């Protein structure tokens, strides 16, 4: 920075930050200072040519043009750069022993039906039958009664109901359950399949250039809420999925694996073989 | 990073970077590694709430939506964050004594007419008359003959001809001149006025939130080319402009000031008082 505050290469970030001194919002000024400092440091490390800078500008513009009421390409960009997971981690630090969070994803719907414990959320009988069960516990191992369990999953072809309106029944593979006195839950579904994030836009092209695939390993989504406890937004994953170590959005955590075990059990509600999936969730006190 | 390469908050950047190991282009992998490292570091310093993260996503989306064939809002964002000037500086480091560069801006046109030395580039007689003159020199102080000087400027109301088609004559306040044996140049124009960058989009809104104005101080644009020398893209600025210390795009450099001095001189081609502007440009050898 010169005495007059003019731009110099050496002091570029501080020149820009000093110009924001009259910002109306202290938090905005703080956020911008951090962003400007890292952005300038990155540019100085990269030393982009003018052509590379223009490529970045055009990439951002195309990403913006891809955004609509139905598609959020900048969230996809945040996802594949691990930023969404980082923001999730920062906002959901849990005490030792509590279940870990992962990203919400775009397929939750607010008005899924509340179902009796044990219900089958698969409404079209397609796919490999699966029984899911476990308990909702506090960090001392006590059951949490009255916990609300909102679950949703892709079908055996890797699609959510909202992606296949008219093909899948409405509210297929979704349900809300409430635990009783013993904190346990159980319901029936089908084994979900891995699926790609939308990859026909600039983010998909970037993934290909980076030698990466767009797939998310098979998982079930959960939101679990109970009075006096932190809301838990998470998935459980199939450890045998081909993409378990390369989730395009980095959603997998080691603690969120649940093995799909083949089983027969007349009490399950299934006639023949089904997959048994057992997972206990531990909520932290709010 | 866990042994299996799963995401953890602590190693978030390295988990993401390791996933790009199969990138087809080594430069892309290098650029992405720097960007991911700084992006994750910035997020960790900022600790954005999920609402703040979504605000950033929506800001980027709106910025993209504003981009069209006529408007490049991401370039404006790059400009007001000082990134455009930084990329310019990195790509145009000059030896001691050579004139400094600044940004090209969006108003250059490729086919401006070549004019005889001394011509008046103001085609509509509006504004305060100005004579501009000086020399094109090498770093040893020798004149450069045959240098091509491409000059363009805003008018006395702060508009370029291309912004006021049908109001200003075509090619108003633009011209291309070539130096003779003595390396000197001179032409006539009008005193340019400061003007705002387009501020009716997300970038203008951000400027207001940061307590900043959208103005660029009055300047003349130059591209100077001569065989055997580096191309020089620069401006000269009015040191008395109200916005000289707060250019919205950080284009001002201390070495690029040229004082507008009131003067009368029958040899100037002007009848009464005019502003005299003298500036020598020094080119570096390529």
Looking from the CA of B239 toward its CB, the CA atoms found within 13 Å total 11
Q: What confidence score (pLDDT) does residue A268 get? A: 84
Chain B 39-58, CB below 8 Å of chain A: which residues? Answer: 39-50, 52-53, 57
Q: What confidence score (pLDDT) does residue A273 get? A: 96
Element (H, E) at A224: strand A219-225
Element (H, E) at A58: helix A50-66
Q: How far is A2 from chain B (nearest CA, A)?
A: 8
Q: How far is A10 from chain B (nearest CA, A)?
A: 9
Chain A CB contacts of B90 under 8 Å are: 9, 43-44, 47-48
pTM, 2 dp: 0.95
Q: How far is B31 from chain A (nearest CA, A)?
A: 6
Query: Which of A4, A6, A22, A251 to mutate to test binding with chain B, by most B CBs within 10 Å of its CB?
Result: A6
Q: Cβ of B7 and A50 within 8 Å? A: no
Helix, strand, coil percent values for chain A (each to nearest 5): 30, 25, 50
Using CA atoms, how far residue A59 sits from A201, A206, B64, B198, in Å, is 10, 9, 10, 21
Q: Which of B247, B265, B266 is nearest to B256 (CA)?
A: B247
Which residue among A50, A60, A63 sits closest to B87, beta carbon to beta carbon? A50
| Whether the Cβ atoms of residue B54 and residue A71 lie closer than 8 Å to each other | no
Chain A CB contacts of B93 under 8 Å are: 9
For residue A83 the two structure tokens come to: 């930023």
List phi, psi (to 5°) of B65. Answer: -65, -30
Which residue among B12, B22, B23 sits closest to A85, beta carbon to beta carbon? B12
Chain B CB contacts of A254 under 8 Å are: 2, 4, 6
Query: Mapped to the 3 state alphabet, what secondary structure does chain B carry?
Result: CCCCCCCCCCCHHHHHHHHCCCCCCHHHHHHHHHHHHHHHHHHHHHCCCHHHHHHHHHHHHHHHHHCECCECHHHHHHHHCCHHHHHHHHHCCCCCCCCCCCCCCCCCCCCCCECCCCCECCCCCCCCEEEEEEEEEECCCCECCCCEEEEEECCCCCCCHHHCECCECCCCCEEEEECCCCCEEEEEEECCCCEECCCCCHHHHHHHHCCCCCEECCEEEEEEECCCECCEEEEEECCCCCCCCCCCCCCCCHHHECCCEEECCHHHCCCCCEEEEECCEEECEC
Measured between CB atoms, does A165 come within 8 Å of chain B?
Answer: no
Measured between CB atoms, does B21 come within 8 Å of chain A?
Answer: yes
Which residue among B38, B50, B86 sits closest to A87, beta carbon to beta carbon? B50
Measured between CB atoms, does B231 come within 8 Å of chain A?
Answer: no
Residue with tokens 């509210």: A171
Q: How far is A245 from chain B (nearest CA, A)?
A: 7
Task: Write b or e for each residue in B117-142: b if 16 or more Cβ atoms lie within 10 A of its Cβ, otherwise e.
Answer: eebbbbeeeebbbbbbbbbbbbbeee
Name B192's Cβ contacts closer than 8 Å, sequence gap at least 6: B153, B154, B155, B156, B158, B173, B218, B219, B220, B238
Which residue among B8, B28, B64 sits closest to A65, beta carbon to beta carbon? B64
Q: What confidence score (pLDDT) does residue A33 get? A: 98
Which residue among A34, A84, A250 sits closest to B46, beta carbon to beta carbon? A34
Query: Which of B4, B53, B101 to mutate to test binding with chain A, by most A CBs within 10 Å of its CB?
Result: B53
Chain A 244-283, CB below 8 Å of chain B: which residues? Answer: 245-246, 250-254
Q: What confidence score (pLDDT) does residue A269 get? A: 84
Q: Cβ of B209 and A6 within 8 Å? A: no
Measured CA to CA, the distance from residue A229 to residue A247 in angstroms comes to 29
Measured CA to CA, the distance from residue A185 to residue A117 in angstroms comes to 7
Q: How far is B53 from chain A (nearest CA, A)?
A: 8
What is residue A168's three-state secondary structure?
Answer: strand
Chain B CB contacts of A246 under 8 Å are: 19
Q: What confidence score (pLDDT) does residue A259 get? A: 94
Measured CA to CA, the distance from residue A135 to residue A143 in angstroms comes to 7
Q: What confidence score (pLDDT) does residue B190 get? A: 97
Q: Which of B229, B88, B265 is nearest to B149 (CA)?
A: B229
Chain B CB contacts of A251 under 8 Å are: 7
Per-residue pLDDT of chain A (286 residues; tens, 9 = 90+): 677 789 999 999 999 999 999 999 999 999 999 999 999 999 999 999 999 999 999 999 999 999 999 899 999 999 999 999 999 999 999 999 999 999 999 999 999 999 999 999 999 999 999 999 999 999 999 999 999 999 999 999 999 999 999 999 999 999 999 999 999 999 999 999 999 999 999 999 999 999 999 999 999 999 999 999 999 999 999 999 999 999 999 999 999 999 999 999 988 888 899 999 999 999 999 9
Measured between CB atoms, does A140 come within 8 Å of chain B?
Answer: no
Which residue among B9, B210, B245 sits closest to A4, beta carbon to beta carbon? B245
Q: How far is B152 from chain A (nearest CA, A)?
A: 22
Q: Which of A218, A241, A166, A209 is nearest to A80 (CA)?
A: A209
**Domains and their CATH numbers in chain B:** 12-71 (no CATH), 83-283 (2.60.130.10)
Q: Which residues of chain B have pLDDT under 70?
A: 1
Name A213's Cβ contacts closer than 8 Å, sequence gap at least 6: A196, A207, A243, A246, A248
Q: What confidence score (pLDDT) does residue A183 get? A: 98
Residue with tokens 């003159």: B133
Chain B CB contacts of A6 under 8 Å are: 245, 252-254
Q: What confidence score (pLDDT) does residue B86 get? A: 98
Q: Cβ of B82 and A40 within 8 Å? A: yes
Q: What confidence score (pLDDT) does residue B129 get? A: 96
């Amino acid at each position: 920075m010169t005495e007059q505050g003019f731009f110099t290469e050496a002091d570029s970030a501080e020149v820009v930050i000093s110009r924001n001194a009259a910002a109306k919002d202290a938090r905005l000024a703080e956020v911008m200072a951090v962003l400007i400092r890292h952005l300038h440091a990155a540019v100085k490390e990269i030393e982009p040519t003018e052509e590379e800078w223009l490529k970045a500008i055009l990439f951002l513009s195309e990403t913006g043009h891809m955004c609509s009421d139905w598609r959020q390409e900048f969230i996809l960009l945040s996802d594949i750069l691990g930023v969404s997971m980082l923001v999730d981690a920062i906002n959901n630090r849990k005490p030792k022993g509590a279940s870990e969070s992962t990203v919400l994803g775009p397929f939750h719907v607010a008005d899924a039906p509340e179902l009796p414990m044990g219900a089958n959320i698969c409404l079209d009988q397609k796919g490999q039958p699966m029984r899911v069960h476990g308990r909702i516990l506090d960090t001392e191992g006590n059951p949490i009664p009255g916990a609300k369990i909102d679950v949703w999953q892709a079908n055996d072809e890797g699609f959510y109901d909202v992606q296949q309106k008219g093909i899948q029944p409405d509210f297929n593979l979704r349900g809300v359950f409430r635990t009783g006195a013993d904190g346990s839950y159980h319901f029936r579904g089908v084994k979900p399949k891995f699926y790609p994030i939308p990859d026909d836009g600039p983010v998909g092209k970037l993934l290909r250039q980076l030698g990466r695939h767009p797939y998310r390993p098979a998982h079930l989504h959960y939101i679990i809420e109970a009075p006096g406890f932190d809301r838990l937004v998470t998935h459980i994953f199939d450890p045998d999925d081909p993409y378990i170590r390369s989730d395009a959005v980095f959603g997998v955590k080691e603690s969120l694996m649940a093995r799909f075990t083949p089983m027969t059990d007349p009490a399950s509600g299934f006639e023949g073989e089904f997959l048994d999936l057992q997972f206990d969730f531990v909520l932290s006190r709010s």
